[in-house]
Structure 1
Amino acid sequence: MTQRETWATRAGFILAAVGSAVGLGNIWQFPFKTSTNGGAAFVLVYLLAAVLIGLPAILGEFVIGRRANLNAVAAFRKLDHPAWTAVGALGLLTGMWILSYYSVVGGWVIQYTIGSATGAYLTDTAAYFGSVATGPNAIAFHGLFMAITVGIVAFGVEDGIEAATRLMVPSIVVILVGLAVYAVTLDGSGPAYGYYLSPDIDYLAANLADIVPFAVGQAFFSLSLGMGAMITYASYLGDDDNLVTDGGIIVGLNSAVGLLAGLVVVPLLFVQFGTVPDSAAGGGPGALFVSVADAFASLGLAGRALGVVFFGVVLVAALSSAISLLEVATSYVVDTYGGRRPVVAAAFGTGLFLLGTLSAWRTAWLGWFDTLAYKVLLPTSVLLAVVFVGWIYGPQAVDELQKGTDGGARLATVWLWSLRTVVLVGVLVTLYLGVVSIYPSPGLPFV
């Protein structure tokens, strides 16, 4: 029997997990959701959700993965709860669902990186987005992004995923810091920081029911929760790794990168428009691309250079997340059926490419896929995992969390009860609000 792969170093695991978390969810979705949900009001709810719900939930997924030492689906059978394999299967399917349209957006990023270098979008940013977002161009670059993702996963855990994220994650952080510092120097950026960092409590109180599903969904999405990714990544860990410390680092770095992305994007929008423009606040999933491209276009040659750097780092972040989602399904087949990793990764990549052509052909499909993922699939998957860890596997989960720590029995008990109460209620409320917001009219883009 072939020995199962492991992380070469603890830092490799942390960087890979951060890479999974730090993706389009942070640099595309986070500024977009912030812009459409009241700026700092959304940021506040998101940060609370990341700490109070995201951190306990990610530790729950770590416990499942390391305890079983298997992929997200087979893990529950290994833990003597075969009926709960449906939870792992839902996570795998959710991740595949997301990756199918995520890859389309990744294709947009490739085209915008090229367009920044050539100046292709400078004359008419809206027309440029229309030319790259749908149709043959979108399908072709969706295929290219998926092919790159497959190539990295095919090389395996240590030589593929760990090696790639060791380079990707530090690059993302360094470049975003540089861009955020640059944004501070721009004339007219001052009001952006009030919008982004000073919550409007009246707005928050009036719109809380609308903000909560998106903010908690953003925490799930950006932390790769409910997709089987963190269960799978933790399955390559040893018993001496401190899950609590690692989880705290991952959540902290993930949130920091999201905030950094906002410190780049929001000031750029204010410099160009004096506020968050209607195209960003009320548009579809491509609205932020148009608005940010407008901001870069207004800066002339410097804007082209900044565009290459910005969209380049978005591309790196997108790939670091995409490989984690593809790894979930690849790991399942390799563990369970002994398939060859390159062949399995290529097979899943091909299937996801075909599914993603819907989103590449019409952005209405992409918006529907994204809404269903945020408001239904992710909270449902997280809810079931929380119930399993908190109420079914409780004592064993506490035991597993304590491994690699100096004692920590009290902390583990507090964590367990936070899953059983605060996290459970938070996820239930989020799921309820999400379902109510799309029922009875889910907005299917059939016509």
Structure 2
Amino acid sequence: MSTPAERAAARRPREQWTGQAGFILAAIGSAVGLGNIWRFPGVAYENGGGAFLIPYIVALITAGIPILFLDYAIGHRFRGSAPLSLRRLGGKGLESLGWFQVAIAFVISLYYTAVIAWALSYFIFSFDLRWGDDPAGFFQGEYLQVSDPGVSLQFVPGVLIPLAIVWIATLLVLGAGVAKGLERANVIFLPILVLAFLVLVIRALFLDGATEGLNALFTPDFAALGNPNVWIAAYGQIFFSLSIAFGIMITYASYRRRRSNLTAPGLVVAFANSSFEILAGIGVFATLGFFAFQQGIAVGELEGLTGVGLSFVTFPAIVSQMPGGPLFGALFFGSLTLAGFTSLLSVLQVVSAGVQEKFGLTRVKATLGIGGAAAVLSILLFSTTTGLIALDVVDNWSNNIGIVASAVLTTVLVIWVLRKGPELQHHLNTVSTFQLGRTWVVLVGGLVPVLLGYMLVSRIVALAVEGYEDYPVGYLGVFGWGTIGLIVAAAVLLPFVRWRSHREPFTAWPPFDRSAVTATRNGGRR
């Protein structure tokens, strides 16, 4: 017999976006994150420059958009968080996959907030160029106070304070709800992000050496197209930049009204994300061209063209040498902070939604409970002197193994095992203006799992045989493989916890008759 709290949870109407524009802005805000700014330019440069745009666009069309549509279809048709939607789709076994995705999102939120906290600190540091003449030494030494791999309880105040601020802001937005919190934050912050980055790019284009930087990025090396690793890199970039396959877009789509266009907005989100990546590449490499010009070397001779090194070492060094450096630095790190924050909100909403629905909690209780626990863990792990190393390892395993495994499992189980492709295709076509053919099912069930399966196996073998960054094997076992172990444990155990809400029979809409759809494809012949 259900409790009054459980009955109240079951009666609560599902939150919704105010409209299509709000959903699109929130989805773009989720997709446009740190990786767009610090990952894409370096990946493109290292994999054929301008020629890389060919496999990149192919990957977007054949993998990124199809999986995005798959997430939309699951969330919108089955009206729940990742665990609830997947349970309604395929039972308790598929619910495990939903909790696998929730656990990945939880882990990512722990360290993603730390990077946002760094960016927020550097936004302040930009005004007086506090890193001085040695940005690398300042970042790892004076700011992060990095020590050897291990477990440390020596907190770094310069990280702990902004990290606490980021968590407080995040919990306030999540506690306000989907429309008043998530949507409103993206409506405000996303235009500011785009405007700030446009100003940064325009300023960068007028720097000495900017042309050389753009030439380095966009000069095509068509010979690279014959290298399979370049194509794998393109699929990897698209996959990691669109916020797909770990619960975000399932959750976001579930907040759309039942009669909502899905595919056309999905195209807007996908191409808007890729457009921002290209814009970021222009801004970053125009700036790197200036840096190389100042030093009298080629752009290719610069170090730190991607990731943490690009943002917190190379860019501060550039800012110190350029006219109007403090303003340029503030624009860059302000953009980094906003891009990270809008993505973080979507990551934590995956966790909050799953917990709300499983345990029958109110939005505020779920936010305070799960968000509070995440904040404490985040501070304990990533605001200490070993935080940078722990972040590097956890990020590598959760992204390259966790998210890729989630995508492979989703496509194989949903399309191959449960054979739900036709139903999900029918759902998308019924509510959307842009219609999908059977090619979509072939891409999601064939090309995507094969390519991502190859990426997953290759990465697991490499990490198991070669290790990572010369870190101790024991340390990688705890923070790397241990992270995957915890994610798997959550996926295995949580489906056995009783649902305290959403236990009523669920009927998906619109109705789907597989035999009728088959007959239609065969021209009415049964």
The reply to whether TM is greater than 0.5 is yes
Change (3 A) 1:364 1:213: farther
Q: Across the two proteins, how many residue pairs are aligned to each other? A: 441
Q: Distance in 2 between matches of 1:442 and 1:250?
A: 36
Aligned to 1:340: 362
Change (3 A) 1:21 1:406: closer
Q: Distance in 2 between matches of 1:36 and 1:94?
A: 28
Aligned to 2:308: 285
Shift of 1:214: 4.6
**Residues 378-426 of structure 1: CA deviation (Å, up to 9, x unaligned):** 1111112222342321221112111223583xx2422112212222222
Q: Distance in 2 between matches of 1:132 and 1:147?
A: 22
Q: Distance in 1 between matches of 2:434 and 2:56?
A: 31
Change (3 A) 1:109 1:286: same
Deviates more, 1:428-437 or 1:245-254: 428-437
Aligned to 2:135: 125
Shift of 1:110: 0.4
The answer to whether residue 222 in structure 2 is matched with residue 201 in structure 1 is yes
Q: Is the Cα contact below 8 Å between 1:17 and 1:250 reproduced in 2?
A: yes
Q: Is the Cα contact below 8 Å between 1:389 and 1:397 reproduced in 2?
A: no
Aligned to 1:192: 213
Q: Which runs of 5+ in 1 are unaligned?
A: none
Aligned to 1:395: 422
Which one has the largest radius of gyration? 2
Shift of 1:204: 5.2
**Residues 95-141 of structure 1: CA deviation (Å, up to 9, x unaligned):** 12222111111111001100012321243312321233355122332
SS of alignment partner, residue 4 of structure 1: coil
Q: Which runs of 4+ in 1 moved over 6 A?
A: none
Shift of 1:75: 0.8
Q: Is the Cα contact below 8 Å between 2:262 and 2:428 reproduced in 1?
A: yes
Aligned to 2:322: 299
| Equivalent AA in structure 1 for residue 325 of structure 2 | G
Deviates more, 1:166-175 or 1:224-233: 166-175
Aligned residue among 34, 38, 41 for 1:24: 34
| Equivalent AA in structure 2 for residue 404 of structure 1 | V
- TM-score (structure 2 length as normaliser): 0.78
Q: Is the Cα contact below 8 Å between 1:154 and 1:345 reproduced in 2?
A: yes
Q: Distance in 1 between matches of 2:107 and 2:161?
A: 19
Q: Is the Cα contact below 8 Å between 2:382 and 2:390 reproduced in 1?
A: yes
Give the alignment of 1:40-119 within 5 angstroms. Answer: 40=50, 44-119=54-129
Give the alignment of 1:400-411 within 5 angstroms. Answer: 400-406=427-433, 408=435, 411=436
Aligned to 2:406: 381
Deviates more, 1:375-384 or 1:4-13: 375-384
Change (3 A) 1:345 1:38: farther
Deviates more, 1:36-45 or 1:98-107: 36-45
SS of alignment partner, residue 172 of structure 1: helix
Equivalent pairs: percent with the same residue? 29
Q: Distance in 2 between matches of 1:64 and 1:429?
A: 25
The answer to whether residue 170 in structure 2 is matched with residue 149 in structure 1 is yes
Q: Is the Cα contact below 8 Å between 2:41 and 2:217 reproduced in 1?
A: no
Q: Is the Cα contact below 8 Å between 2:214 and 2:289 reproduced in 1?
A: no
**Residues 231-251 of structure 1: CA deviation (Å, up to 9, x unaligned):** 000001123222111111111
Q: Distance in 1 between matches of 2:394 and 2:48?
A: 23
Q: Distance in 1 between matches of 2:234 and 2:377?
A: 27
Q: Is the Cα contact below 8 Å between 2:36 and 2:280 reproduced in 1?
A: yes
Aligned residue among 227, 233, 252 for 2:252: 233
Change (3 A) 1:354 1:406: closer
**Residues 283-322 of structure 1: CA deviation (Å, up to 9, x unaligned):** 873343210111111014x110111111111111111000
